[in-house]
Copies of this chain bind each other. A is one copy, B any other.
């Protein structure tokens, strides 16, 4: 409708964007260029589908966020959803919203970051759309596959199960604080900023857990460890006890929170770590450790599932308090 909002040449833009990506996989029967993409699903598998958006000035700032990291991140937040289901990522569709002042160089860098992520995750970009818009936005829809009896859900946690978490918590929230305070593009990201900009979706771990059929429930940390754990517990109609001294914290996190009034706040309530939180029966603990090693991903037992509702935090002194309600608002 508004001509001014439309990018100069949609078809040239699409061709240039796609030039950064590998050719689609052999299961892609009709690649981008027709009215819709066509792919051949793997027989006997479920199709998993998720969609998530990155919007300028909501999730990132164009002037201070590295462009390639944006491309990486738009994919990673969706990969993380599939990882939490134990699904193998396969195909992506990308809807771009672009104001008139977006440069092709900047878009090239975004595309490079996304293409690299797609290559590493085995994802083919098979479709998309470009529209004019007031803000840059990347809305990615990701399709994956899993065997029906292997899918990880939120609803299977049982009292007595161990609560596990991958990687470390809270780094992304601290990285976001630091990025928001910047006025110009950083020449180099700090470790914490990198955790925010370039989250590692735990696809290998999610698929390995699903394959080994050892987890009773799983979710990824986008809203915050406590908020997402609560989603898992609510879906399973149980509660949990979390041992605060066992929370996995990075050296950078510990340094950054030294002397803070609430040093565990970002780890508990900060969002966008894109780690996996999952539960498993105690007797599977050894197998979990083996699976995590195979997936080259650190995994830590941080608590246990209980029948009593709510998330109960247990300190080093044995004091037990209810976690507060607030999660991280990132959208």
A residues within 8 Å of B by Cβ?
1-3, 5-6, 10, 29-30, 33-41, 43, 45-53, 55, 57-61, 80-82, 84-85, 87, 91, 93-95, 97, 126-135, 137, 139, 141-144, 146, 148, 151, 153-155, 176, 180, 218-220, 235, 329-331
Contact = CB atoms under 8 A, between A and B. Distances in A.
23 contacts: A10-B331, A29-B46, A29-B148, A30-B85, A35-B81, A36-B49, A36-B84, A38-B46, A38-B48, A38-B146, A41-B45, A41-B46, A47-B143, A51-B95, A52-B95, A53-B139, A58-B131, A93-B141, A95-B141, A129-B139, A135-B135, A137-B137, A141-B141
A208 B132 CA distance: 34
A305 to B, nearest CB: 18
A37 B41 contact: no
A41 to B, nearest CB: 4
Nearest to A220: B35
Contacts of A137: 97, 133, 137
Contacts of A82: 35-36
B48 A37 contact: yes
A108 B91 CA distance: 32
A130 B39 contact: no
Nearest to A42: B41
Contact of A53 (B1, B97, B146): B97
Nearest to A130: B331
A276 to B, nearest CB: 10
Contacts of A143: 47, 49, 143
A46 to B, nearest CB: 5
A131 B59 contact: yes
Contacts of A49: 36-39, 91, 93, 126-127, 141, 143
Contacts of A45: 41
Contacts of A330: 1
Contact of A6 (B93, B146, B329): B329
A52 to B, nearest CB: 5
Nearest to A146: B38
Contact of A127 (B41, B51, B153): B51
Contacts of A219: 35
Contacts of A59: 1, 131
Nearest to A153: B34
A195 to B, nearest CB: 16
A35 B85 contact: yes
A51 B128 contact: yes
A133 B55 contact: yes
Which 3 residue pairs are nearest across A and B when measured between Cβ atoms?
A36-B50, A35-B84, A141-B141
Contacts of A52: 95, 129
A35 B50 contact: yes
